[in-house]
Amino acid sequence: MRLMRKPYAFALIASLVLASLVVFYYFSHQRAPDVRSAKELVVVTYNAAGTYYVDGKGNFAGLEYDLVNLFIKDLGDDYKVKFIVADKVSDVIPTLQKGKAHLAAANLSITKERAKLIRFGTPYLDVQQHVAYGLDQNNEPKVLQDLFEKHIHIPKGSSYAERLKSMRNQNTMLNFQEVENASTDELLEQVNMGFLNYTVADDRVISILQNYYPNIGKGMAIGNPEQIAWAFPKNGNEWLYKKSLAFFDRISKDGTLKNLVDRYHGHTERLNQLDVRKFFSQTQSVLPKFVPIFKSAQELNDIDWRLIAAISYQESHWDQYNTSPTNVRGMMMLTEETADDLGVTDRLDAKQSIFGGARYINILKRQVSEKIPEPDRTWMALAAYNIGFAHLEDARVLAKKMGLNPDSWADIKTTLPMLNKAKYYSKAKFGYANGGAPVIFVESIRTYYDILEKYFPGRESLFPNFEFKSSAPLTKKQ
Contact predicate 266/208, CB 8 Å: no
Contact predicate 397/411, CB 8 Å: no
Side-chain-facing half-sphere of 339: CA atoms under 13 Å: 21
When pLDDT is averaged across residues 285-291 and rounded to a whole number, the result is: 97
40 is catalytic: no
pLDDT score at 477 = 36
Compute φ and ψ for 374, nearest 5 degrees: -80, 150
User: What type of residue is 317?
Assistant: H
Residue 437's closest CA among 472, 387, 478, 473?
387
Question: What is the fold, at CATH topology level, of the domain defined by 273-455?
Answer: Lysozyme (1.10.530)
pLDDT score at 457 = 83
- Give the integer Cα–Cα distance in Å for 376 and 379: 5
- Give the integer Cα–Cα distance in Å for 217 and 416: 31
**How far is residue 447 from each of residues 125, 210, 313, 383, measured CA to CA in Å?**
21, 11, 11, 15
- Give the integer Cα–Cα distance in Å for 310 and 161: 38
pLDDT digits (tens, 9 = 90+) for 394-435: 999 999 999 999 999 999 999 999 999 999 999 999 999 999
Torsion of CA 457, 462, 464, 466, to 10 degrees: -90
Contact predicate 133/141, CB 8 Å: yes
pLDDT bin (cut points 50, 70, 90) of residue 458 is: confident
pLDDT score at 464 = 32
Domains 35-125+229-265 and 129-224 share a fold: yes
Q: Does the 35-125+229-265 domain belong in CATH 3.40.50.2000? A: no
- Give the integer Cα–Cα distance in Å for 199 and 160: 9
Secondary structure E strands in 141-266: 153-155, 177-179, 198-202, 216-221, 226-228, 231-233
When pLDDT is averaged across residues 211-240 and rounded to a whole number, the result is: 95
**For the whole model, what pTM was predicted?**
0.81
When pLDDT is averaged across residues 151-177 and rounded to a whole number, the result is: 92
What CATH number does the domain located at 129-224 have?
Answer: 3.40.190.10
Report domain extents, the chain.
35-125+229-265, 129-224, 273-455
Compute φ and ψ for 466, nearest 5 degrees: -120, 150
pLDDT score at 16 = 61
pLDDT bin (cut points 50, 70, 90) of residue 478 is: very low
Mean pLDDT of the chain: 89
- Residues with Cβ < 8 Å from 128, sequence gap 6 or more? 202, 203, 221, 225, 226
pLDDT digits (tens, 9 = 90+) for 10-68: 656 666 656 555 444 444 457 999 999 999 999 999 998 889 998 877 889 999 999 99
Contact predicate 457/218, CB 8 Å: no
**How far is residue 152 from each of residues 169, 200, 207, 296, 366, measured CA to CA in Å?**
17, 8, 20, 47, 51
Contact predicate 75/478, CB 8 Å: no
Check whether 462 has a pLDDT greater than 60: no
CA 357 to chain CA mean position, Å? 27
pLDDT digits (tens, 9 = 90+) for 123-140: 999 999 999 999 998 889
- Residues with Cβ < 8 Å from 239, sequence gap 6 or more? 35, 36
pLDDT score at 15 = 60
Distance in Å from the first CA to the final CA of the chain: 55
pLDDT score at 1 = 43
Residue 276's closest CA among 319, 318, 215, 332?
215
- Residues with Cβ < 8 Å from 90, sequence gap 6 or more? 155, 156, 157, 158, 180
Helical spans, DSSP H, in 266-327:
273-285, 287-301, 305-316
Q: Are strands 129-134 and 53-54 parallel, antiparallel or unpaired?
A: unpaired
Contact predicate 312/318, CB 8 Å: yes
Catalytic residue among 315, 337, 370, 443: 315
Contact predicate 84/101, CB 8 Å: yes
- Give the integer Cα–Cα distance in Å for 110 and 227: 6
Q: Are strands 40-46 and 80-86 parallel, antiparallel or unpaired?
A: parallel
